[in-house]
Structures are given as structure tokens and as C-alpha cells.
A = this chain, B = another copy of it.
């Protein structure tokens, strides 16, 4: 059992909190708050929820994560991929804008929080490792494309539906005649401006003599400028009367106290999406947290992270939010702006609470197209097809998993895509281990080292067959070795001894043990003795519990060299004698 205090990382950093940390945290909180106001509104839009829900989802969850999370600088809140997954999960259950939709979002956050918390308490963080890096990369890339595609309708000023790329494209083409040209103008200008901020503003500021870090901060806060300018333009020119969709009236106030639904029907429908959202959110969050922690030589405890994110999601469920996780962009800004402890998050929460209380009337005229532009520019940086090329060059199995993940995510939606990626990468791994590489080995002259006879110039003896199996022996490949050996030994007559070099065998399960017994028996009927060498400690411990070693016709040698000394000493005595 872990000590109770270890579940509250705040007790550690809280003890040494000082003025220097406070000033770093405060500065970071100001910058992150400015960055988060438009982003939170935009991601709520992406999830199909009212804009204020994005603010709500950033307040209480941040505070809970500050208490339970193990990362010093992770910033928790709505993120793009999880917002998309939320929309996909509840889009089939209720219509956007209804009470049912908002309730489903709360329930999804509640379920996700419960799953994350349970995984953390049961120390199941390792499960996230079954999402391979290439599958995650492929999924994020495909999600980025889906998200960008889903926002084009707001730039065009039309209504369109769909959660897969073909659905979205067909729906947009049908609605295209209804485009609003003023909205399009605002959307395109905002997108172009935001791209320029990303690429052009920082060099410009540096040329104007601003420090690198300050230029960075101004760049990150830049999107607020697009918000202000386009809002003022709509208000001043009365563009909402010309069909430009605006955010409109947003309730002014602190996050409401809410309760997710526990109706069995709803829970059953949302359980699988909640599981996928939890795992994807956790993987995204933990990789950001570990990247940042490594820079300052801090430690991240994956199981404690699960608890922190679980608490954050439960908080979101109780304060009118939707599923949240640690975001990449906001965490990096927080880190770069000098945040030292999770207190920076708490200050950000206060800043956003003030925004929710006081600033919402100011965004009445904010055009939806500007928010869509914010999303498009943010997510296109997620799109990176280089993983296809890298995996193609390095490993076809990885390539197949990535390509399938991308195609299925785009074509059949986020849930099918990520599930197929995980299942396929596991299936391909099992397939590979079910037909292991088997090498016949010989002695590298002048050493005690044995290598593949096909790749190295080595010494062998016709009466001694040395076989190295490059895989643990388990049920999926037990028969493979049996077939290989019976073919190999039957075809060459002078063999008197077969040595299995077990240096790559990390496990022998009961199925494989039965195969070894069968091999031993079959070889003995051919007057061939079976020996083992270089059996690892844990494997040997296991074999000693069975009757296999009693039945074994040959011996168990510590090393392959010992086996050669005992069974074919002539080779060693005549150095340079190369078969």
C-alpha cells in the first residue's frame, strides 16, 4: 500500500512554496488565462456545447488537478481531440443544444472520471502502453483532419453534419449554396491572421528588438487579438444582421453545480466512448507531462496522474463541464511562461472564473467563424503524415497499423479508428511472435560466442545441431518449433545431438513445455539427444517444477560454449578448422 499522503502531491510542493515560485506562477497564470479564453470557447463549440461550457470545464478541473496531479506544469482543460470524441460520442444520443446533450456531456465526464480514478487506484496505468506510438500519431493526425474539416462549415456560414470525413464532405457540398460571404471573409481573414501570428509574428517582434521569450509570449496571446478585432467589427458594422453567426448571450456567473445522469441506458451507451476518451486523454496528457518533467528532471507517477485526471473529470461533471485532460499547447505555454507549481493552475482558474463572471457580455458579438479559425489553426499543427513514411521504412507491421488507424478514423470515425489501431497492432505483434526467427548457430572462431551460420563465418560440427530460437516459447508458437525441428532433424542423418540455445527464450508456458516434451520424445526415437543451453534463471526455476528435466535425454549447459566443449570438443581443439 502506498502511504495516504502520497495520493496528495500538493502536500509535497506546498511545503516549500515560496515568493519566487509565487511570482513565476502568477505570470504564467496571466498568460495562460489570456490564451485559454478563446480556446475554451472554441473547443466547447467543437464538442457541440454552448461556449460557456468551455470556460466551466477549465475552472474546477484545474483546481482538482492541482491537488492530485503529479505534474508540476500540466495544464488541464478541454482539448481538441477529446472535444471531437465527445461530439462523436453524444451526437447520436441527443441533438445539439438540448438539455439531453448537455447532460450526456456531464455523464461522459463523470464516467471518464470514474474510469480514470479506478485505473489509478488499481495501478492500471500500464494499460496505456498498449496504444503504440505510431497508432497514437496516426490517430492524432487523422483527428486533426476531422476537426479542421468539421470547422469549415462555420467559416462558410452553413450548417453541416457528420462525424466521418465522407459524411462531412457530402453534407458540406449539399449545403454549399447557402454560404454566407461576409462570414467567409471574416473566417478566411481570421485564419490567415492566426497563421501569420504563428509563423511571422515572432520573427518580426524579434527583429523589432523584443527578447525571444517575450516575443514567444506575445505570439501565444495573439489569438485574443483576432477575437477582439472581429468582435468589434461585427458590433460596429452590425454584421450579425447580415447573417454572420455570433456567440450571442452567454450566461454571466460562476460554473453551476450539476450532477451527471446515472440512468442505466445512458451509462451503457456512453461506457465504451468514456473508456476510449479516458485512455486517449491519459496518453496525451502523460506524454506532455513526461516531456515537460524531463526538462526539469522531475518525476511523473503514471498512476497518480490517472488519479489527478480522474478527479479533474469528476469536477467537470459536477460543475457544468465536459471531459477534460492535460493539453499540449496550454501546458507548454504554462511551462515556458515560468510556472513552477500547480498553483499556477489554481491562479489560472481564478482568472477564468473572473472571465466567466465579468467578461461574457463582451463576447456577445464574437463571430463563430473566428472561433472556428482558432480551432483550425490549432489543430493543423497536429497533422503530421511523416509517421507513414517513417513506419514504412522501418517496419511494415507498424505501417499497417498506422495506415489502418488513419483510414478508419477518417472513414468510420474516431471510436472505430482508435479501436482498430489497438486491436490491429496487438494482432500483428502476436502474428510475428507466432512464427519466430530460428537460427542455426556456430562458434565465432577465437571467441566463445555463437552466431547464425548464414550471417557469420563460424565453426560447426556435423553431429551437433545448435539451434537458437529468437522468441519466448508460448502457445502461439509451440507447434512451430515442433514442426521446424522434426523437418530439420529428419533431413540430415549424422546428427547425434541437438542443443537448443535458450538465450532469447524468456518464458516457456505449459503449452510450450508440452511441445518440448514431444520434441524430446520424438528426437529420442531417432537416437538424437536433446540438450539445452543458456537457460535463464526464471525459465529454469519453472522447468525445475515440471518433470521435463527428468525426461530430457541430454543435459542443461550453462553456456553454449560449455555444450560445444562437452559434445564436440574437436572443433575447439583444431582452431581455424572451418566447416
Contact = CB atoms under 8 A, between A and B. Distances in A.
A546 interface: yes
Nearest to A506: B470
Contacts of A25: none
Interface in A370-407: 390-391, 393-395, 397-398
A517 B303 CA distance: 24
A506 B437 contact: yes
Given A510-B134, A536-B470, A558-B444, A479 B129 contact: yes
A394 B543 CA distance: 8
Interface in A478-515: 478-480, 503-507, 509-511, 513-514
Contacts of A432: 507
Contact of A129 (B449, B470, B480, B538): B480
Nearest to A130: B476
A439 interface: yes
Contacts of A435: 126
A55 to B, nearest CB: 34
Nearest to A558: B449
A394 B542 contact: yes
A75 B545 CA distance: 38
Contacts of A545: 393-394
Given A480-B129, A542-B395, A437 B536 contact: yes
A170 interface: no
Interface string A128-158: 0111111100000000000000000000000
A434 interface: yes
Nearest to A471: B506
Given A132-B511, A429-B474, A429-B475, 7 more contacts: A129-B475, A132-B474, A294-B522, A393-B545, A432-B507, A437-B538, A449-B561
8 contacts: A133-B478, A294-B522, A425-B475, A426-B430, A429-B509, A447-B448, A449-B558, A503-B503
A46 B385 CA distance: 57
A433 interface: yes
B434 A126 contact: yes
Contacts of A522: 294
Given A395-B510, A474-B429, A545-B393, A434 B559 contact: no
A33 interface: no
A477 interface: yes
